[in-house]
Amino acid sequence: QVQLVESGGGLVQAGGSLRLSCTASGLTFAGYTMGWFRQAPGKEREGVLCITWRGGITYYADSVKGRFTISRDNAKNTLYLQMNNLKPEDTAIYYCAADRKYYGENDCRGTFNYWGQGTQVTVSS
């Protein structure tokens, strides 16, 4: 059973920082492309960042470039999202997702089949 659990969300003032974590179980972490997604109130879910098993990074959202950094620790089965210079527009539920790469593909293309429950990030102005 694959389980993804996000943590690290909370309330922060604009310009502040947060680090989100996603711990995975029930999977071989190194065999998955991992991504962060978010959904703001009244808006559709959007991709934020993606990282492959070899550390290749894809930016889904231009708005986070220069502010957000995705990383992973395969030994700890953990995905991270470092968020700096947060803006009120970043307020959303942030989700961790996993895409199984059966053939060892090192890319951020494909369907994310597994999802965490989300963690709330609220940025005040």
Give per-residue pLDDT as tens, 57-85: 999 999 999 999 999 998 999 999 999 99
The Cα 97–Cα 116 span in angstroms is 6
Residue 57: count of CB within 10 angstroms of its CB = 12
pLDDT at 106 (0 to 100): 86
Q: How confident is the model at residue 88 (pLDDT cuts 50, 70, 90)?
A: very high
Q: Provide the CA 55 distance to its chain's centre, in angstroms.
A: 14
